[in-house]
Amino acid sequence: MTDEVLTRREGVAAIISLNRPKAIHALTTAMCEGMIAALQAWAEDDSVGVVIIEHAEGRGFCAGGDIAMLRRSALEDGGLSGRRFFLNEYRLNHLLFTYRKPVVAFMDGITMGGGVGISQPARFRVATEHTRFAMPESGIGLFPDVGGGWYLSRLPGRVGYFLALTGARLDGAECLWAGLATHYLASGDLDEAKRRIAAGHEIEGVLAALASSAPEAKIAAHDGAIRKHFRFATLEEVIASLDGDKSEWAMKELATLRSKSPQACKVALRELDTSLTLTSFAEEMAMEYRIASRVLVLPDFSEGVRAVIVDKDNAPKWNPDTPEGVREETLEAIFARLPATEEWKPL
C-alpha cells in the first residue's frame, strides 16, 4: 500500500482516502493497485458494510491520472508503463462498477478524468458547492476514458457528447441535474454524513436527511441548444451547426471546440456511439484499453500535454489540425482489437 492512498475502518465503513494533495490526488499506478487490494480484501470481510471514497486534504477530490508519467512513457518507453497504468486503472474502474457492497463517493472539489472513473461507478455520488466535474481529455489529445464512453453516452439528451467534445466543467448543481451526482450536500455536512454512514445508518436516508437545496443548474438553460448542435454523428456537422448559430453561447462553444484535438474529438464521438452498442462494462473497458494503447503514442497526446501541462503555452499544434484531415483508416486502427495476449481483461 502506498501512502498516497490511506485506508481506515470506522464502524461498518471501510474508507479510501486519496492522499496526493500537491497533484490534486491524481492517480498513479501504485494508487490504483493499492485501491484494488483494499477493495478485494473488504469484499471478503463481512464486517464491512459500505465503502467510502474521499480525499484526505486539499482542494480537489481527484484531478485525473498521472498525465506527466503517461507523456514520459509515450516518449521514452513506447507507452509500456502507460499501458500498465491503464490496465490497472481500468481494472479498478471495473471492480468498482461490479462491486457488491455499496460505495459512496464524495466528489468534493475537482473531479476530472481518473476522478470520474472512481466516482461514477459508485452507487451514491455526492456533489457539493466545491465540485468541478469535467472530462477534459480532448484538450490534450486523449479521449474520455475510465468508463467515460459508458457514462457520457447514457446521459439524457446530448449533454454527454457536449462534455466529451468540449471538456466543459460542471459545478455540483449541474452534476445533480445531469445525473452525474445522486445527491447534493453542503461541504460542511460531509463529515456528519460519513459519521452516520459509518455508524450503520441507512445510506439513502442519511444523504436525504442532510441534502441541501442545490442552486439552479446553469447548463439547463442551454439544454435545447446542446440537443440541437451536438446531435450529429460527425464532428464536421457539429461544427457547422454551431457556426450557423450566432448566439454568444454557440460562438463560445465553437471557439472551444476548434481549440481541441480534431483526432481526439473524432475518437470521442465514435467511442460514445460504440458504447451504446455494448452490453457490459467489461466490453467498454476493453474498447477503451484498445483506444488508450494507440492514442497514447500518437503525436497529439504528447503535444497536448506539452502545451497544457509542460510548457503551458496553451498553443498545441495538432496533427492533423482539421477534422477533415483525420482519416477513417486512422480511426479504424485506433479502435481495432489488440492481439489476444494484449487484450484488456477484468480481474
Q: CB–CB of 161/281 below 8 Å?
A: no
Which listed residue (34, 60, 65, 167) is catalytic?
Answer: 65
* 200 is a catalytic site residue: no
Residue 201, SS3 per DSSP: coil
Beta bridge mates, 52: 15, 104
Which listed residue (145, 171, 271, 288) is catalytic?
Answer: 145
The DSSP 8-state label assigned to residue 27 in this structure reads B
Residue 170, SS3 per DSSP: strand
Query: Which sign, positive or negative, has the C-alpha torsion 165, 245, 251, 221?
Result: negative
* 145 is a catalytic site residue: yes
* 248 is a catalytic site residue: no
Backbone phi, then psi, for 336, in 5-degree steps?
-65, 150
Which listed residue (64, 109, 114, 115) is catalytic?
Answer: 114
Q: How far apart, in whole angstroms, are the C-alpha atoms of residue 332 and residue 328?
A: 6
* 65 is a catalytic site residue: yes
Name the helix (H) or strand (E) containing 298: none
Helices (H), the chain: 29-43, 67-76, 80-97, 114-119, 148-153, 159-166, 172-178, 190-198, 203-210, 223-229, 235-243, 248-258, 262-275, 281-295, 299-305, 328-335
Residue 7, SS3 per DSSP: strand
Q: How far apart, in whole angstroms, are the C-alpha atoms of residue 284 and residue 148?
A: 9
Which listed residue (33, 54, 137, 271) is catalytic?
Answer: 137
**Residues forming the active site:** 65, 114, 137, 145
